[in-house]
Every structure is written in C-alpha cells, then in structure tokens.
C-alpha cells in the first residue's frame, strides 16, 4: 500500500503541475480558438487525474477535508466542461442523463460538506460546501427550465466551472504545502485573488450580451455534439 500511495502521490503532483500552467495558458489565448481548446482539454484531464488521486489518497488516510476538496474541484471541472454541450438549452435541447446524475451527486456531496462543516465547526468546509451547493441548485433549476437560457449562459458556466476548479486546486495545494501562511489564509488567498478578476470578466461578457452581441461575436464558438440522454 505504501508503494501505491507513493505512486499515487507522484501522479497527483505531476497532474497538478500540468494543470497549474495549463489554466493560465488557456486564458491567455483567444477564447474558443484551437489553442484555447487544446490547453483547456489538457487542463480538464489534469484536474480529473489530480482530483481522482487526491480522493484516493484522502480516502486511504482518512483526510475528510481534503477528500471533500478533491470532489469539489472535480465537480467544478465537470460543470465547466459540460457547459460546452449546453449551447441550445431551452431551444429543443434537454439535459442528458449525465447532467442529471452529476447534479444529483453534487447536491449530495455538497450537502455532506456543509454538514461536515457544521459538525466540525470548519468554516472553510461551510464556505466551499455552500458555493458548491449553490452551483448544483442553480444548475438543477436551469435543467428544469423550459424557456431558452439567457444569452451566453453556457459561456458563463464554462468560465465559472473551470476557474472555480483551478481556484480549488490551488487552494488545496496551498493548504497542504504553503505552511508558512497561517490558517485559514493559506486556503482562502486563491479565492481572494482570483474571484475579483472572474467577476470582472463575467460582468464584461454580460454587458456585451445585454447590448445585443451573440456569444459567437465575442468568442470563437464551436458547436458540440449533444451527448445522448
């Protein structure tokens, strides 16, 4: 088991290292372009591997908080990825079974994270559990909506999911490795640093959409095939 944990640790470190640089690379190039899709795809799979290995290690070692953090990061990465398949929601397109399963699991996990935070008086778990639950509830309501989604909603979801996954991954790294930063600031500083630019970008896109611009006029849009329900 020790050798397996050691291998798992190095795979986790390698995936995290790749993801750490791929997210800024995807943000630095034209959104929706070939380079953006390539770097974004690498980032997504890096997060899948990093999150999965983190969950395995935390489960074996009984580290509940890091287990929940790994699940949180995975969920947001999935949320951002799946949004690319939601460009026509409310216009004849319906959520697939994968979407419903993902949202259902998210509600269960984040509800559990909130309960864990209450029982252990862990403020960080309460904050991240509430954020995750809010994501899941909003998505559940969106899937139940029969009318068209607001213009560019899928783009907002894509940005929020991937940036959120990046913030969660950096937060977990900081909490476990940057021990010179006192708790809870070693876990919170990525949120404090990265959320304001995220909010600014989201508002910038919303302003463009409110003035009649379409997503394809703002970013390079590539229609994804709908995953069968």
Share of the chain above pLDDT 90, in %: 22
Domain range holding 165?
2-87+147-215
User: Has residue 164 been placed in a domain?
Assistant: yes
User: Would you report the helix, strand and coil content of the chain in percent, each value rounded to 5?
Assistant: 80, 0, 20
pTM score, whole prediction? 0.86
Q: Does the pLDDT value for residue 3 go beyond 50? A: yes
pLDDT of residue 85 exceeding 80, the answer is yes
- Are 30 and 40 in contact, with CB atoms under 8 Å apart? no
How distant, in Å, are the alpha carbons of 6, 44, 149, 183, 227 from that of 161? 30, 10, 17, 25, 19
Asked whether residue 162 carries a pLDDT value surpassing 80, the answer given is: yes
Q: Are the CB atoms for 70 and 48 separated by under 8 Å? A: no
Domain presence at residue 62: yes
Identify whether 122 is part of a domain.
no
104 within a domain of the structure (yes/no):
no
Q: How confident is the model at residue 227, as a pLDDT? A: 47
CA atoms within 13 A on the CB side of 188: 10
User: What domain count does the chain have?
Assistant: 1
Q: How many CA atoms lie within 13 A of 31 on its CB side?
A: 14
Q: Is residue 11 part of a domain?
A: yes
* pLDDT on residue 222: 67
Q: Is pLDDT at 182 greater than 60 in this prediction?
A: yes
Q: Is residue 221 part of a domain?
A: no
Distance separating alpha carbons of residues 47 and 41, to the nearest angstrom: 10
Rg (CA), the chain: 18
The band of 193, judged by pLDDT with boundaries at 50, 70 and 90, is: very high
- 135 within domain boundaries: no
Q: Within 10 Å of residue 29's Cβ, how many Cβ atoms?
A: 15
Residue 226 reports pLDDT greater than 60? no
Within-domain flag for 39 = yes
By the 10 Å C-beta count (0-12 exposed, 13-18 middle, 19+ buried), 192 is classed as exposed
pLDDT value for 189? 92
| 14 has pLDDT over 50 | yes
% of the chain exceeding 70 in pLDDT? 96
Each residue of 101-138: pLDDT tens digit? 989 988 988 888 898 889 888 887 888 788 888 888 98
Model pLDDT for residues 20-41, shown as the tens digit of each residue: 899 999 888 888 888 898 999 9
């Amino acid at each position: 088991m020790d050798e397996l944990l050691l291998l798992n640790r190095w795979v986790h470190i390698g995936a995290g290292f790749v993801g750490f640089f791929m997210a800024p690379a995807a943000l630095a190039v034209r959104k929706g372009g070939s380079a953006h899709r390539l770097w974004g795809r690498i980032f997504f799979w890096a997060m899948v591997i990093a999150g999965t290995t983190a969950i395995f290690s935390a489960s074996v070692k009984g580290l509940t908080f890091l287990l929940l953090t790994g699940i949180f990061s995975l969920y947001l990465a999935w949320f951002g990825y799946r949004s690319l398949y939601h460009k026509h929601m409310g216009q004849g397109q319906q959520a697939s079974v994968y979407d419903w399963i993902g949202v259902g699991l998210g509600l269960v996990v984040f509800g559990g994270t909130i309960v864990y935070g209450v029982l252990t008086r862990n403020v960080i778990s309460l904050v991240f559990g509430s954020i995750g639950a809010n994501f899941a509830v909003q998505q559940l309501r969106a899937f139940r909506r029969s009318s068209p989604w607001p213009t560019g909603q899928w783009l907002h979801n894509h940005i929020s999911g991937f940036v959120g996954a990046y913030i969660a991954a950096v937060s977990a790294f900081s909490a476990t490795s940057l021990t010179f930063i006192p708790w809870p600031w070693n876990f919170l500083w990525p949120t404090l640093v990265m959320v304001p630019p995220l909010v600014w970008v989201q508002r910038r896109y919303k302003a463009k959409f409110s003035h009649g611009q379409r997503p394809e006029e703002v970013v390079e849009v590539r229609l994804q095939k709908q995953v069968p329900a």
